[in-house]
Every structure is written in structure tokens, then in C-alpha cells.
Amino acid sequence: GFLFKGEQHSMFELTYVDRGSLHCVVDGNGVELHQGQLMVFGPQQWHMQYTDLDMTARFLTVSFDLESEFAARLPDRVFDLSSAAEAAQLRQIVRESENMDAYSGDFIRSYLKLLLLSVLRDTGSEKKRLKTPVALNHENEIVSRTLQYVADHVCDKLSVEIVSREVGVSASHLTALFHRQMNISPGEYIRRVKLEESKRLIREGTMNFSQIAAQLNYSTIHHFSRQFKDKFGMSPSEYAKSIQSE
């Protein structure tokens, strides 16, 4: 049930799935990464990630700057880690990040460059990129605008009707697009984003539950608590206690 509501930034970002599966949405185009696969988001590519409600995923994210002639070949593709050497390079990156010393930064950059060169060589320059037909470009743009709007207005009063009006389509059309591209309804997506934001606010510890419910525009604290327990299997107070004991 993990959900990251999305961002864009000036760096490249690599995501590798070590266990389970992870949905990635980049520029409105949905891709599901499975165990042993990685994807690279390019600079200023807006992207978000989530798992199905019954799925747990373990994944690694690495953000980096890159100036290279092969940089343009990295985004919009799914790569399979097909060799033991590539898996070892990823393990070394993790190991160096956990045991930082004066040399770790250089080692991480070296292992990362080897990994990227290796997966590009394995897949070859002719491998198809994740391109969608021209007819779907407009639909991808609508989905992308919707995800960004929800992320930017998570504390506002949101509904499918409100969001669809803001992105300039009917509620029924937006619902059909979400089901087709994300396997989730826009209403369920809005609920999940708000509940993930509530977890972040609980972890910050600067507001009580009534204030969090009001901040996120829930009608009552009881409505907020009921949705929280339905989604996470515990009440907000039980969640707060669980993170205090970590």
C-alpha cells in the first residue's frame, strides 16, 4: 500500500526493485517494475510511485547528476539486471552508502557508472523505449496534470468532480483514464494521498489528530480515523505509538 505522491527535480533518479513490484508513473505514462528491474527518470521528469494495496515492495533509489553522451538513452526505458556483476554493483553502492568514509563517494560514483554502462550494453541501442502512441499523449498529459494537482493541493478539499474540473475533463473521463493507466480510481487515489500525508504529519509530531484532520480537510476526526484504520489496519493513535517505539 505504499504511495509516493510525486516530484520533479533537476537530477537523474534511478529506481531498482529488489522485491515485489512497484508502479511508476512518469509524465502520465504508467509502468510496473518487477523484481530485478530498474528505471531511470530524467531531469525535470515528473514521477510518482505506488504499490497495490496488498503489495509490499523493497526498492532502492539513487539520485545523481550525469554529463555523458549516453545520458539521453537512460530515461523512459525499463532495464532488467541480467548479470551477477550488475547485482554486485548495486550491492556495493548500498554497502558504501552505509559505511561512508573518505573514499565512499568516489566508489559510489564509479559503481553507478559501471552499472549504467552495463545495462545499456546488455539491452543494446535498438531496444524499444517506452513510447506511447500519439493518440495517448493527451491522455498521459491529463493523468500527469491530475497527479500533480492532487500532490500540490493535498490539504484542500478534494473530490473527483473538483479535480476533473481543474484539469479540464469530465469526472467520468478522468475515472476511465485512471482505471486504464493506473488500475485505481481517482477517488481512491485522492484518499491514499491524503492518508499518506497524514502519516507524515503524525511522524512530525507538531499537530494532534484533530488538527491533522482539519489540515487535510476531513469532515470530522472520526471520518479521518475510520479511513486511516481501513487503509493501514491501525488507528492514528496506534500508528503514533508504533513509531515512538522504533
**Rounded average pLDDT per 10-residue block, the chain, 246 residues:** 88 96 88 94 93 88 93 92 88 92 94 94 64 64 90 94 95 91 89 93 94 96 95 92 80
Length of the chain: 246
Q: CA 208, CA 152: separation in Å to the nearest integer?
A: 23
Going from the C-alpha of 102 to that of each of 90, 92, 115, the distances in angstroms are 20, 16, 22
Q: CA 81, CA 194: separation in Å to the nearest integer?
A: 35
**Cell numbers standing for residue 165:** 474540473
57 contacts 51 by C-beta, under 8 angstroms: yes
- Model-level pTM? 0.78
Which pLDDT belongs to residue 23? 92
Cα end-to-end distance, the chain, whole Å = 20
**Cell numbers standing for residue 223:** 471520518
Which pLDDT belongs to residue 136? 62
Which pLDDT belongs to residue 173? 94
Q: Read off the amino acid at residue 42.
A: G
Give phi and psi for 74, each to the nearest 5.
-85, -45
Tell me 42's DSSP state: P
Q: CA 105, CA 26: separation in Å to the nearest integer?
A: 28
Closest C-alpha to 31, from 73, 76, 81, 71: 76
Q: CA 11, CA 152: separation in Å to the nearest integer?
A: 20
Instruction: Please give the helix or strand (H or E) that residue 148 lies within, else none.
Output: helix 134-152
pLDDT digits (tens, 9 = 90+) for 162-179: 999 999 999 999 999 988
Which pLDDT belongs to residue 5? 86
Which pLDDT belongs to residue 129? 56
Which pLDDT belongs to residue 130? 59
